[in-house]
Chain A
C-alpha cells in the first residue's frame, strides 16, 4: 500500500487520483500503525509552513517521516512536502522544519526591474535533469512541470550545481536531481537523499510526464543509482 500522509494540507485528493490512475493502491491516512505498515509514503500538500508543521507534530507524523527515512522506505515529497524536509523555512517569520535535508527554504524576491515576474511562481516551468535517478528521466534532458509556490529550497550541499554552499560536517550528502529558474534564481526543483525523493513541482498535476514519475515511484525500492 502507498500511504498519502493526511495532515489537512490541501490537495491530497489530486495525489490520490493520480496514484490510482497509474495503478498504485493509495490510501490517505494519518493512522500511525497504517503508515508504519505502508510500503511507500507520499508527503504531499499545499499550505503554510507553520500550520503544516503544527499539524504534523500534533499527529506525530513528523516522527513517522523521520522513521521511514531512517528505515529506507521510499518517500515522495511534493511542494510544501519538499520544503518541510529541510532544516527550516523562512515562511511565517521562520519555522523549524523536519531536518531530513540540510539547508533551508527562502522566499522569492520579485526583481524590481521586471514587473512581469509574478509571485507565487505559478504555472509550467522547464526542469533540467541533473543526475540519474531510478524514477526520473535521464540527466541532460528536460521536462515541463506545474509549480505553485512562493518559497524555494536552498540545499546546503556542495554538489548542488545550483547553489554553492559548504557541506555541513556530520551530515550525509544528497543530490539536486533537477533545477529550474524563477525571479532570477536558479533553484532546486528535485532533491533526493537516500530513499527520499522530493519535488517542488506537482507531478500529480503535470500531465503525462508527471504521471510517469508516479508510475515509477509505485515500484521503486528506495535504492538510488
Chain B
C-alpha cells in the first residue's frame, strides 16, 4: 500500500532558510544544506526548496545549492522559485532535483509548463497553487487562485485551475492556503479535500500545520496524499520520525 508522505519545506532567502507568517516577516533559521542533511537523517520523506526571492529579483534558482543538496540527501526533492523556462527546468533537474515547482509561471505561461511536462514527464512538474477564500459567487469552489505570494489575484477558480493544470501535464499539486499559511491553526481541509477529490494526481496539503493532529486531519479528512510542514520542523524542532510515529498510531500508513 502506498504510504502518505511528510514533506519538509525550506523557504530560502539569501542562502538562508527563513520562516514567515503569511509570506511576511521572515526570520532566518539556518543553512539550507545543513538543515536538509538533518531532516534527511530524521526521516523526512521528501523535501521542497523554494528560492522565495528569485522570481521577484528576476534571477534563476541557485543551482550550486541544488547540487549541494543532491550530495547530502538521498530522497526525492523539489525546487521552486525562479523557474521561468524549459531551460530553467532542465538545469534544476540535471543538477539532481527530482521535480520542479511552478506557480505564477503556470498562470502566465501555461504553454511553458505543458512543454516541460512533455519534455521531462509529468512526474517532474509540480503545480504550486496558492488559494484564498472568497465569498464571490464567481468562484464555484469558494476559493480564488492568487500569485506572487498572495499579492495578486488571478480571477481563476481553484478547482477549475487544478483540473486545467492536470490537463496541461502537471503531475502533482501542492495546495497552499494563503489564509492558513504560517498561522499554525491547521490546514484548510475544505479546499484540500475539494482539490484532492477533483484531480487524478497526488495533492500535497500546505500551509497551517501547528501540530501533529493537523497533519492527521489533512491526510484523512482532507484526503491529501502528503502533508507539507515548515514551522513544525524549523521552529519547534520536531523530528519527522516522531511525527510519523504518531501518525502511524492513528492508522495512517507512513514510512518507518
Q: A17-B71, A18-B74, A144-B255 are in contact. Are A10 and B3 (CB under 8 A)?
A: no
Contact of B2 (CB < 8 Å), options: A13, A125, A207: A125
In the complex, chain A residues whose CB is within 8 Å of the CB of B122: 120
**CB-CB nearest in chain B for A202:** B76
Q: Does B115 contact A (CB under 8 A)?
A: no
Pair A115/B121 contact, Cβ less than 8 Å: no
By secondary structure, the B interface counts as loop
Closest to A46 in B: B121
Q: Which of A110, A125, A205 contacts B76 (CB 8 A)?
A: A205
Asked if A139 CB lies within 8 Å of chain B CBs, one says no
Chain A-chain B contacts (Cβ-Cβ < 8 Å), number:
86
- Are the C-beta atoms of B98 and A11 separated by less than 8 Å? yes
The interface bits of chain B over 79-102 (1 if a CB of A lies within 8 angstroms of the residue's CB, else 0) are 000000000000001111010000
Smallest CB gap from B254: residue in A: A124
Nearest CB of A to B241, in Å: 12
A210 and B1 CA atoms in complex are apart in Å by 19
Smallest CB separation, B169 vs chain A (Å): 12
The answer, yes or no, to whether A99 is at the interface (CB within 8 Å) is: no
- Nearest Cβ on chain A to B174's Cβ, whole angstroms: 13
Q: Name 23 interchain pairs, CB-CB below 8 A, sorted by A.
A: A10-B124, A11-B93, A11-B98, A13-B70, A14-B96, A14-B98, A17-B70, A17-B96, A21-B71, A115-B197, A116-B223, A118-B201, A118-B225, A121-B2, A125-B1, A125-B3, A126-B1, A144-B3, A146-B75, A148-B98, A181-B1, A182-B2, A204-B74
Chain B residues proximal to chain A, CB less than 8 Å: 1-5, 40, 45, 70-71, 74-76, 93-96, 98, 120-124, 171-172, 197, 200-202, 223, 225-226, 255-256
